[in-house]
Structure 1
Amino acid sequence: MKNLMTTVALVLGQIAKAALWLAGAGLLLMTVFITAQVFMRYVMNSSLVWSEPAAVILMGWFIFLGAAVGIREGYHLSFDVLLYFLPKGAKLWLYSISDLVVTAFGVGMAWYGSQLALSAWDVKLPSLGISGAVDFMPLVVGGCLLTLFSLERLARRAAGLPTARFGDAEPEAA
């Protein structure tokens, strides 16, 4: 079981790394778009009509991809005060309950995001000339990754392996 989990962790680690690089590239590209828009508007007295909608779409991508990786790595928001006073066994149960809730949230994001994307499939974004479904794709992909990474955390915990920074086991050496 641990060999399988190690292999799965390596694959999901590569997916997380790719998602993080895409999120970083999206953030950088969004910054370029907004900088170009400000330059064009205030220096050239002309506006790039596509820059704001493109930047908002990119923002959705880097937010949801980054959030999914944050879940995998254990950097999402949490309320930890109670955990300082509980024994290790109780902490593991609370971590697992938290991961189950996050899994359900990820499934909801993917499901309802796909419903929104399908409903906007035939709508054309006028300034970009692409389908309105593109607006909702970060929800779908982010929800799928959130679900996948939360399930990985649950499986790793069940196998007695570390789950990032939560401290339910010491992290393995890299």
Structure 2
Amino acid sequence: MRSNLHRLAALLHLLSTAALWVAGVGLVAMTAATAWQVFGRYVLNSSPSWTEPVSLILMGWFIFLGAAAGVREDTHLGFDVLVTVVPAKVAVAMRFLSDLAVIVFGAGMAYFGALLAAGTWSATIPVLRLPGTVEYVSIVLGGVLIALFGLEKLVRRLAGMAPAHVPVDEARAEEAVWNS
């Protein structure tokens, strides 16, 4: 079972890396669109109308894909002070509950984002002439990835393995609790 989890972890690592690259490209593209808008407004005295909606759409993509990668890589902000001072078994239970909360949150994002995307299908973004759904697909994909990466962490914990990106000392302590 562990070899299957390691293969799955390698696949999810590629997915996380791809999400991070797309987020990075989106951030650069949004910065370029915003720079063009500023240049157009202050130098050409004619602001391009497409830059603001494009920037907002790109912002959604890099925020939600970056957040999903952050869940997998354990780079999100956290309040770990309490976890470090409680007994090891309580800390494991707290991390387990945290993983469950992340999964539920990601699934909720995906579900309600899908409802929002479906509800805006018939609307059109005027300047871009794209369906309104384009603005909300990033919420759905980000939610799916957050839930998937949270599920990976939970399954690894239940299998007695540390999450993919945890400091070595913390991983050994957690594995010792699961294996005791």
The normalised TM-score by structure 1 is 0.94
Is the aligned partner of 1:35 residue 2:26? no
Aligned partner of 1:90 in structure 2 is: 90
Residue 168 of structure 1 deviates from its aligned partner by 4.0
Residue 33 of structure 1 deviates from its aligned partner by 0.2
Q: Which moved more, 1:77-86 or 1:6-15?
A: 77-86
Higher relative contact order (CA 8 A, sep 6+): 1
**In structure 1, how many angstroms separate the alpha carbons of the residues matched to 2:87 and 2:30?**
45
Aligned partner of 1:140 in structure 2 is: 140
Residue 162 of structure 1 deviates from its aligned partner by 2.0
Deviations 1:100-125 (A, max 9, x none): 01100111100000000000001010
Residue 66 of structure 1 deviates from its aligned partner by 0.6
**In structure 2, how many angstroms separate the alpha carbons of the residues matched to 1:99 and 1:127?**
41
**In structure 1, how many angstroms separate the alpha carbons of the residues matched to 2:170 and 2:64?**
26
What are structure 1's unaligned runs of at least 5 residues?
A: none
Residues 26, 62 of structure 1: 8 Å contact kept: yes
Amino acid of the structure 2 residue aligned with 1:157: R
Aligned partner of 1:154 in structure 2 is: 154
Amino acid of the structure 2 residue aligned with 1:87: P
Aligned partner of 1:76 in structure 2 is: 76
| Superposition pairs of residues 95-110 of structure 1, within 5 angstroms | 95-110=95-110
Aligned partner of 1:165 in structure 2 is: 166
Amino acid of the structure 1 residue aligned with 2:43: V
**In structure 1, how many angstroms separate the alpha carbons of the residues matched to 2:138 and 2:97?**
25
Residues 92, 168 of structure 1: 8 Å contact kept: no
**In structure 2, how many angstroms separate the alpha carbons of the residues matched to 1:22 and 1:7?**
23
Residue 48 of structure 1 deviates from its aligned partner by 0.8
What are structure 2's unaligned runs of at least 5 residues?
A: 173-180
| Structural RMSD (CA) | 1.1
Amino acid of the structure 1 residue aligned with 2:6: T
| Superposition pairs of residues 15-26 of structure 1, within 5 angstroms | 15-26=15-26
**In structure 2, how many angstroms separate the alpha carbons of the residues matched to 1:19 and 1:79?**
25
**In structure 2, how many angstroms separate the alpha carbons of the residues matched to 1:112 and 1:19?**
21
Q: Which moved more, 1:93-102 or 1:153-162?
A: 153-162
* Deviant stretches of 4+, over 6 Å: none
**In structure 2, how many angstroms separate the alpha carbons of the residues matched to 1:65 and 1:96?**
23
Residue 47 of structure 1 deviates from its aligned partner by 1.3
**In structure 2, how many angstroms separate the alpha carbons of the residues matched to 1:60 and 1:155?**
29
| Superposition pairs of residues 107-118 of structure 1, within 5 angstroms | 107-118=107-118
Q: Which moved more, 1:72-81 or 1:36-45?
A: 72-81
Q: Which moved more, 1:77-86 or 1:147-156?
A: 77-86
Residue 56 of structure 1 deviates from its aligned partner by 0.5
**In structure 2, how many angstroms separate the alpha carbons of the residues matched to 1:95 and 1:168?**
12
**In structure 2, how many angstroms separate the alpha carbons of the residues matched to 1:168 and 1:154?**
16
SS at match of 1:47: coil
